Amino acid sequence: MRLLVTGGAGFIGANFVHSAVRAHPEYAVTVLDALTYAGSRESLAPVEDQIRLVQGDVTDAGLVSRLVADSDAVVHFAAETHVDNALADPEPFLRTNVIGTFTVLEAVRRHGVRLHHVSTDEVYGELALDNPARFTESTPYNPSSPYSATKAAADMLVRAWVRSYGVRATISNCSNNYGPYQHVEKFIPRQITNVLTGRRPKLYGSGANIRDWIHVDDHNDAVWRILESGQPGRTYLIGADGERDNLTVLRTLLKMMGHDPDDFDRVPDRAGHDLRYAIDPSSLYDELGWAPKHTDFDEGLRATIEWYRNNESWWGPLKDAVEARYEQRGQ
């Protein structure tokens, strides 16, 4: 199997590549990654001798076509992913998320290659805090942010290429991931590394917003299952019954790190901040027999704190610039 992984130097992609090398040492894995601020060669250092890393842009049609022609399957992670960055400057999100996905689709269409497109639950918009409903495959798309609108556009392109051109593609929409190698701009690593660098954690608004947390290894495990056994044309929702409000996550994390649970700052809320995301993953459970393994969120959080404690050389060089950007935005 020759596998092309776009965005494989980012958080989820790098963990996916590690798992590919562990589980399938016989696969030939190529990573295509632009190594933007969010991508890092170091994230692939543990497997650098077992893979090929091509530094390049997913919107480069010639390059993508050549790499796809040499592959049996493509897993497409590459994207601009941070909602706050999208609010500040949406243009790169349009380019990478929409044109990048179009470029991948044209290449897999030309060369008849299987595609798995990695998307997010944010395409469905927000759920009410007081309504137990969860997202399913038939929930209408209703994106709120420039980020989620571009991911929704990309998903629509994939669906259209399946229907119009018979492209063999699956889509997964996953909830919020946590785990090692996540950029320090994101909620959980930002707060852990704030504590580790003597800064106070920052909570947007009231902290009542709910996210449905899943360990990155569980997400990637589900992506493997879909790649191997999913039905082309189908969308699968990936989640691990991990709903928690932001205030609870932050207080848990502070306690685990030996701090007073109220030792944080409240900062201005994110514009258009979605209240709640929640995934009903039952069709993945029922049809593909998948189930998450990291079901104890506190244990996963403790291990993630340990990872950031032990890997300051990975995140340390990024931290000051990220916090300077947040400070400019008053957050």
By CB under 6 A, name the binding residues for ligand TDX: 81-83, 120, 122, 176, 186-187, 190, 202-204, 209, 211, 246, 270
Structure tokens given for 331:
């957050």
Q: Which is nearer to ligand NAD, 167 or 240 (CB)?
A: 240
Q: Which residues pair with 54 in a beta bridge?
A: 32
What DSSP string describes 144-207?
Answer: -SHHHHHHHHHHHHHHHHHHHH---EEEEEE--EESTT--TTSHHHHHHHHHHTTPPPEEETTS
Q: Which is nearer to ligand NAD, 120 or 194 (CB)?
A: 120
Q: Least Å distance between CB 71 and ligand TDX?
A: 25
Q: Which is nearer to ligand NAD, 86 or 113 (CB)?
A: 86
- Give the span between the Cα atoms of 165 and 161, in whole angstroms: 5
Q: Which helix (H) or strand (E) holds 310?
A: helix 297-310
Say if residues 41 and 52 touch (Cβ distance below 8 Å): no
Based on the residue annotation, tell me whether 277 is a catalytic residue of this protein: no
* Window contacting ligand NAD (CB under 6 A); options: 7-15, 46-54, 65-73, 293-301: 7-15
Residues in region 46-105 near ligand NAD by CB under 6 A: 57-59, 77-81, 96, 100
220 touches ligand NAD by CB under 6 A: no
180 touches ligand NAD by CB under 6 A: no
Based on the residue annotation, tell me whether 122 is a catalytic residue of this protein: yes
Based on the residue annotation, tell me whether 147 is a catalytic residue of this protein: yes
How many Cβ atoms sit within 10 Å of the Cβ of residue 270? 16
Q: Which is nearer to ligand TDX, 60 or 84 (CB)?
A: 84
Residue 57 interface partner, choices ligand NAD, ligand TDX, none, CB cut-off 5-8 Å depending on type: ligand NAD
Say if residues 124 and 173 touch (Cβ distance below 8 Å): yes
Q: Which of 30, 71, 120, 246 contacts ligand NAD by CB under 6 A?
A: 120
Q: Least Å distance between CB 262 and ligand TDX?
A: 15
Residue 77 interface partner, choices ligand TDX, ligand NAD, none, CB cut-off 5-8 Å depending on type: ligand NAD
35 touches ligand NAD by CB under 6 A: yes
CA-based radius of gyration for the chain: 19
Residue 48 makes CB contacts below 8 A (sequence gap 6+) with 41
Indicate the Cα dihedral angle 237, 243, 246, 249, nearest 10°: -120
- Give the span between the Cα atoms of 169 and 30, in whole angstroms: 19
Q: Which is nearer to ligand TDX, 47 or 242 (CB)?
A: 242
Structure tokens given for 245:
């409000």
- Give the span between the Cα atoms of 177 and 13, in whole angstroms: 12
10 touches ligand NAD by CB under 6 A: yes
**Options 57, 122, 221, 274, the catalytic residue:** 122
Q: Which residues pair with 215 in a beta bridge?
A: 178
The Cα-based distances of 230 to 171, 201, 236, 304 in angstroms read: 9, 40, 8, 30
- Give the span between the Cα atoms of 33 and 35, in whole angstroms: 5
Question: Helix (H) and strand (E) counts for the chain?
Answer: 12, 13
**Options 33, 106, 126, 147, the catalytic residue:** 147
39 touches ligand NAD by CB under 6 A: yes
189 touches ligand NAD by CB under 6 A: no
Residue 251 interface partner, choices ligand TDX, ligand NAD, none, CB cut-off 5-8 Å depending on type: none
Q: Compose the 125-164 pattern: x for residues touching ligand NAD by CB under 6 A, - for all others.
A: --------------------------x-------------
Residue 83 interface partner, choices ligand NAD, ligand TDX, none, CB cut-off 5-8 Å depending on type: ligand TDX
**Options 121, 155, 212, 274, the catalytic residue:** 121
**Residues designated catalytic:** 121-122, 147
